[in-house]
Chains A and B, each alone.
Chain A
C-alpha cells in the first residue's frame, strides 16, 4: 500500500466533526462511569501489583497508516498511560492505563485533540472474531503460496532437464517431495473450498466452489496416482505445481476481497458511533439525578441540555428548540421542535434545554433500527458472486459431459489413453480464469477507489455505471456546502455608513445569543469582516428566542438602547417581497411599533469543484439533472451557476415527483445514476439504477446506496465513472481470454494432443494472466488525475 499524501486526504476524513468538539461534562460523567467502563475495559495487575485498566477504543478519522502513530503519541503523552497500541487496519486501539493517575475521559479527550474520534469499543466479541478470521485467512494464504513456491522449485527440473539429465530416482524423489508439500495445501489451505463445495452439494445445487474443488481434487488424485505407480491409469505426469498455484491465486483473491469489504464496513461503523452520555432524569417532584441511558425506562421524564444528544426517542413536554437530525436525515440544517412533537434518539439538541418524555428505548429507537439496517446491508452477498455462480453451473456440466464423453469415445479407440485424456479435459477447462476474471478486476477497482474515499457497496454497480446516461442530483444540498456566505445587506432605512456598520455589528452580537444556523452565519460573516472574533460589546438583557420566529432582546445601555428583534420577516414586521435566498431581518421597537432596519441575505456556497465537474460531465455526454424541493427561483439560480439547461433543473419536487421523473427517464431505456443524501430520498435511491450517497448523507441513505463518496467531492463521481469504464474493459478482456483459451484448448485435449502437464501449465498461466491484467487497475493509480485535474481538462468519452 502506498502512502497517500496528506494533501490528498479530504478534510472531512481528516477531522470528523466529533473530533472538533470537546467532551461535554455529561459525556465525561458517562464515560467515567464504572458500568460503562466495564463494557470495554479489563482490569489487570501491573508489575508492582497496582491495578491497571486495559481498554479498547474504536477510532475514527484515520485516513492513512501514519495516523495510527500520531494517535499512539497523543495517548502516550497522557500521564498515567502505560502502553498505547493502535491498529490502523482495524481502526482500534488498546490502551493500558493507571486509574489512580488518569481517567477514561482524559484519554478520549487526548485522541480528540489530536484530531480523531475515539469511542469506547463495546463490540469486543465481534472484533476478536474478525481478527481470528483475518489471521486464519493470512495463514491459509501463506501455506498455499509458500508451498506453491517450493513445489514450483521441485517441478522445474522436470520441465528444464534434457533427456537423460534427470535420473529416474531423482525425478521420483522430487515427485514425493511435491506430494508431501501439496498435502497441507489440499487439506488446510483449500479447506474453505472443500467446505463450500460440500455445503452446496448437500443442498443439491452447484456453486462456484464445486468446479474449483473438483479441479483441485482431480488434479491431486491423478498426480498422487502417478507419483506412487507411474504405470497407473492416470499416466506418469504430476501437476502439483498447477494445483498449488491455483489454490493460492484463489485464496489471494478472497483475502483481497474480504479486506475491501472490511474497509467499507469500518467506515460505516465509525459513522454510526456515538459517545455514551449521562442523562438528567426528573422524578415526580422535579428532582434531577444523573443516570446512564441504560437505566432509563419508558415514560421517564428527562431534561436534555443544549449540545446533548437525545438518549431515547421521546415527545417534548416542555420548551422548544432546534434539533440537528443529520444522523437520521442527512439534513444539516436544524429543524424546529416544540411541545408535543417527537424527537429521535441520536439527534442533537441545539437550541435550548427541553424536557422530554421517553417513548422508545434501546433497540426500538429509530436510530438503532437504522443501525441494524446498516448491519444487514453489510452482510449481503455481492451480486457479482451470484452471477459468477450462474455462469459456473452450466459451464461445469458441459465440462463434466465432455470429460465423460471423451473417456467413452477414447476407451473405444484406445483404452490406454482414455483416462488421461479425460483428466486433461477436466484440468485444462478448470474454470479458474473464468471464475477469477470478473471478481479480481472488481476487487482491484474497489480497493483503488476506497483509497480515494469512494466506497463501493455493490461491486456490480461499476458495470451499470458504464452504461449510465443520466446523472440526477436529488437536491441542491448535494451540490452545496453546509455553510452560507453573506450577500450584500439590504438597508430598509436611510442610514449613514457609520450607522450601518454599527447596526451590522449590533445584529451580529444579537445573533451571538442564538445557535440558529442563520444566526451563526451572521456571526461568522461579522467575524470575517472584522478579522477575528471580538468580545461582545453589547449588554443584552431579557433574551428570548421563539422557535421558528426569531430573537428578541433588550439593550440596556449605549446609543442604540432599546428592544431589538432579529428573525423572520413577520417577526420583524418587515414589508415587501421575500428574497429568493435565505435572509434574516433586524428590527427595533420605537414607541410600540416595530421598525425594520435591515435585511441580511445569504448565498448558498457551491462545493468548490461542483461547477467544473458538472461541465466535464456534460461534455462527456451525460445529461445532468437537478430535482429539488426548493423554490423555483433559487433552483434556477443554481442551475445557471452550474451551467445546466433550465429544463433539466426542476423545482418544488415532492419525493413522488422525483420518483416519477426518474421513472420517466428509465422508461426511455436509459440508465439513471442518482446522487442523494436524505432519508426522504430512499425510495428514489432504491429506484435508480445506481445510487450514490455523499459522505455527509444520512446513515440510512448510505446503507441503501450502492456507492458512498466519503470525500464529498463531486469530482470523485468522474473518477468513479472513469474507473468503472477501465474496470469493465479489463473484465471483458479477462472473460474473452478465458473463453478463447477454453475454446482453443478443449478440442486439443479432446483429440489427445494436450498432455495433462501442458494442460496444467496452460491453466496456471491463464489464471496468472487474468490476475495480472486486473492488477493493472491499481498500477495506474500513481498517475490518477486529482479531482481538480479531471475538472480542468476537457475529456471525450
Chain B
C-alpha cells in the first residue's frame, strides 16, 4: 500500500519540484544498519533505507516548506513509515537588530500493519524573538506549542515549551551561552480503562514476561510482549511499553525546567570545540506510563525530552579537513531518571524503584561536499546502563547517504 502510494505521489512531487521556480528542492537517501532496532537487551538487527524529498518555496514574505519521506525497515517491514509535513515560516524584522519569527506546521506519520498505533497527525506553532543586545551578545526568546493525535489515543498530547537564552562572543573567539527552559506535556487520555474483574495483582505482574518470544495471546507470533492488547492495539518487537489502568480516566501531565550552559571555541581555521552541560528537573506531574521505550529512528510516542530529569554533558570537536571534508565527533554522557516509570524485572514484576539510565554515546560523522551532492558516513556507539534490565543495552549503528539539491531554474541571490 505504502509503495503504491509513493508511486503515485513521487511523480507529482518531482513535477512540482521542476516547476518550483526559485524554490529549493532537496532530495536525500540514507542507509542505516543497527544491531539493536528496539534498543533493549534483546537486540534485533535491522537495516533501514530512508528517502526524503522536500520543497521550500517563498510566497511573498512567507516561506512554505513541504516534505515527504519514506523509511523502509528491511527485517521488520511493519515498522516502515511514510512521513509528510507542510509548514509556513514568517520572519518580521523590528528595527535593525531584532526580529520576530513565526512558524506553523502540520505533520503526519503513517505506519503499516501492527505499528498503526504510532500513526499520528500533528500541528505545531512556534513564536520567537531575537535581538542583539550588543554586537557581540544575543538574546533569544522562544515559545513552541504542539498537538498530536495518534491512531492509539493513549499517546494523544498537547505540549508547550518556552525558553530564554543569552550568549556572548569574546575576542578570544570563545562563545558562551546560557539557556533556561520550561516545558510541559499533557497526555489527554493515557490510561486504559479498569478491567471488569478487579485486579488483585499489580499490572506489571499481570504483564507477560518481558522478552522476545514471550508474547501474549493476542500477539502475532513473533515476539509481542506486554504491549499486546494495550489500547486495543498490539505490535511486534518492542514489548517495553506498558500503560497504566485507571478507573477515573482523564489526562496526565509532566512538566520540567532546565538550565544549560555552552562554551564554543574556534582554534585556527581547522578546529572547532564545544562543551555543554544540561540540567533538567521535573517540577510537576510524572510520566503516566508504567514503562516506556524508544526505537532506533522511530519517533516513539512514550519517550521524549519531557520524560526525564537529570543531567547531560556533551563535548564535540569539528575538523575542517582539506578537499572540503568535514569530520565531527561528539561524546555525550547522560544520567537520567524517568519520574513515574517503574523499573521492572524481566518477569514483569516491579523492582520498587524509578527507572534510571546512564547513557554514554559516542558519535562521529564524515562529510564530503561534491559539486552536485554531499555524501556522508556516520557511526554511533551507545552504552545504556539501566536499573531496568530490559533497557540495559549496548549497541552501535552505521549510516551513510547522500543529499542532493535539485536545480530549479535560476540561481541568483535567492536561487
A-B interaction: no
Chain B contacts to A: CB under 8 angstroms: none
